[in-house]
Chains A and B, each alone.
Chain A
């Protein structure tokens, strides 16, 4: 990025105008995202009366209260009277699902991609085509049949159902790992083979450790995506909601009960976890997500 060309400032009026317009629009967009979070956070700390009086009087610090957060953890957000679901239940569900899915996302696609990138075998071309087909044909079309299949297996509303669906070897993660492993020189493995290492040992002890940066980046983005995932839970976990689905259900309940600040507390909680992870790892994600290059 530090090239001379980048640093040369052109004086063309068109360039200046474009730069100025882009800068203003980008700053405004960023401001709206920050405003969204601040608005939710501050209103989650306000009393219901204060919020109803003026939802934009955000800096009413004197009257800030944690009561909405107390309510958040004691209010039933979904389920029935016999089987109530609280926000803590959704957090437990989400954490269990997230960790299982993150592990799957950095193991199976990596192993599949490594074999296909580094070995020549009869089915290689067919499998590479499969990897492309999986990305080309929309999964939406088969949703009805998948749901039917999962229902018949008794896997709706279960963690195992979600793990099973997430345990595929292809997809975007495969593509990133494939590009990465394809670019690693084979010389690393040669000496290990000469020393008598097996193929699995070469993968586990030499190749896989080299993928740690991209693996971590995929794990972090996978964590954020799974933490935020609404659709999977909406379809396959209606009675065991994750936090994203739970917060949307909480919002509907609180909107009807005219107690929205409790929903804001839930929304803030959901957002804060993602933002903290992103704040800690943003440089890492930005630098590693395109390792190996996403090419056509």
Chain B
């Protein structure tokens, strides 16, 4: 019963009843937990998506009406507070940001640390600080700094002294205006998002065989050439794994928007996200019908996207082994 890759079990010990019991009892709790909290909850979500509740709280068949609502809201034909197509675009903008800005910058920073840039040890620790702090601190500090002078201490008061003159922004800050609120959140996401995976990328780079990097260097390949032609392809599996966690993180992403913009302003400044829609429904006591249907749609789209993404990533740099 032991793993073939490490030992031939017959030579050591026959698969007796105690080993079988050890295996199946050992994984029983994990499987049960999965069946209840993953499988059961997802099946329950699909089930609940076809119902609604009447005034007495009883389930009432609703057919595909909740899915129709999801379609109407997500195509901009219907809108109610943050349940709006803007929330979908906001989530997509965070996804775009994560892949096109945060991920490349993180990789570049990791490479610089790997290449022992000046103060690399200090920078490695320093850049990890946002991962150690609660999102509450980061968001509330950001909100304070960019809320405008009407709310108290603000960086805009400093910028005003340095010559910045847009009084509307100086007084009200970024988060009261539809034109600037989401940009404020986007910049926050860059500020806190370019460092999370540095620890994994630098570790992956540290495991690269010395001979490969050394010979490239001796052949005259520049640092950037090494980065694109050797380092990136060789740590591609790690990039793929961390990218998948990025997608999952983006789908669940709502806390910064909620903490920075606030529940009261979210709809008027267009600061919702798809995760926030579901959470706000749940907090409002609505767990059947629309939130369930919306959850089903998000889960299916998310899972399909992740699977295709993984396959695509695997095709880009196939079979890199070291």
Contacts and interface: CB of A to CB of B under 8 A. Distances in A.
Interface of A: 1, 3-8, 10, 12, 14-15, 18-19, 22-23, 26-27, 29-30, 32-34, 36, 39-40, 43, 51-52, 54-56, 108-109, 111-112, 114-121, 123, 127, 130, 133-149, 151, 165, 167-170, 172, 182, 185-187, 189-190, 193-194, 198-200, 224, 227-231, 234-235, 238, 244-245, 247-248, 251, 255, 260, 263, 267, 270-271, 274-275, 277-278, 282, 285-286, 289-290, 293-296
Interface of B: 1-7, 9, 12-13, 18-20, 22-24, 26-27, 29-31, 33-34, 37-38, 40-42, 44-45, 48, 108-109, 112, 114-119, 122-130, 132-138, 140-141, 144, 151-154, 157-158, 191, 194-195, 199-200, 203-204, 206-207, 210, 213-214, 216-218, 222-224, 226, 236-242, 244-245, 248, 251-252, 255, 259, 274-275, 278-279, 281-283, 286-288, 291-292, 295-296, 298-299, 302-303, 306-307, 310, 313-314
B238 A19 contact: no
A143 B278 contact: yes
A274 B132 contact: yes
A15 B222 contact: yes
A199 B3 CA distance: 13
Contacts of A295: 237-238, 241
B59 to A, nearest CB: 11
B42 to A, nearest CB: 5
Nearest to A268: B137
A165 B36 CA distance: 10
Nearest to A165: B37
Contact of A140 (B13, B136, B252): B252
A177 to B, nearest CB: 12
A140 B292 contact: no
Contact of B27 (A169, A193, A230, A293): A169
Given A23-B118, A141-B302, A145-B41, A29 B210 contact: no
Given A4-B217, A186-B2, A136 B29 contact: no
A275 B128 CA distance: 11
A115 B23 contact: yes
Contacts of B237: 295-296
Contacts of A39: 141
Those 3 A-B pairs whose CB atoms lie nearest each other, nearest first: A55-B153, A169-B30, A141-B299
A248 B26 contact: no
B295 A147 contact: no
Nearest to B310: A296
Given A115-B27, A121-B1, A274-B132, A290 B203 contact: yes
B112 A119 contact: no
B112 A23 contact: yes
Given A5-B213, A170-B34, A267 B44 contact: no
**Most-contacted residue by chain A among B108, B117, B129 (CB, 10 A):** B129
Contacts of B259: 230, 248
Given A147-B282, A248-B136, 13 more contacts: A52-B152, A56-B158, A142-B44, A144-B278, A151-B287, A168-B33, A168-B38, A169-B33, A230-B255, A235-B282, A267-B140, A282-B125, A296-B310
A109 B274 CA distance: 30
Contacts of A108: 29-30, 33
B31 to A, nearest CB: 7
A125 to B, nearest CB: 13
A190 B31 CA distance: 28
A166 B5 CA distance: 32
Nearest to A185: B6
Contacts of B274: 140
A161 to B, nearest CB: 11
B236 A296 contact: yes
Contacts, number: 344
B245 to A, nearest CB: 8
A80 B31 CA distance: 41
A1 to B, nearest CB: 5
A144 B112 contact: no
Contacts of B302: 137-138, 140-141
A142 B45 contact: yes
Given A127-B31, A289-B199, A19 B112 contact: yes
A134 B30 CA distance: 12
19 contacts: A29-B194, A33-B130, A55-B152, A117-B3, A121-B1, A127-B31, A138-B252, A141-B42, A142-B38, A144-B292, A146-B41, A149-B41, A193-B12, A200-B22, A234-B279, A238-B283, A263-B140, A286-B203, A296-B314
A167 B33 contact: yes
A12 B82 CA distance: 50
Given A15-B223, A274-B134, A120 B1 contact: yes
Given A145-B41, A294-B241, A15 B224 contact: yes
Given A5-B217, A169-B27, A56 B153 contact: yes
B141 A40 contact: yes
B132 A3 contact: no
A199 B18 contact: yes
Given A112-B30, A278-B132, A135 B244 contact: yes
A95 B117 CA distance: 39
B127 A270 contact: no
Contacts of A235: 279, 282-283
A142 B200 CA distance: 29
B18 A244 contact: no
Contact of B298 (A135, A140, A278): A140
B303 A248 contact: no
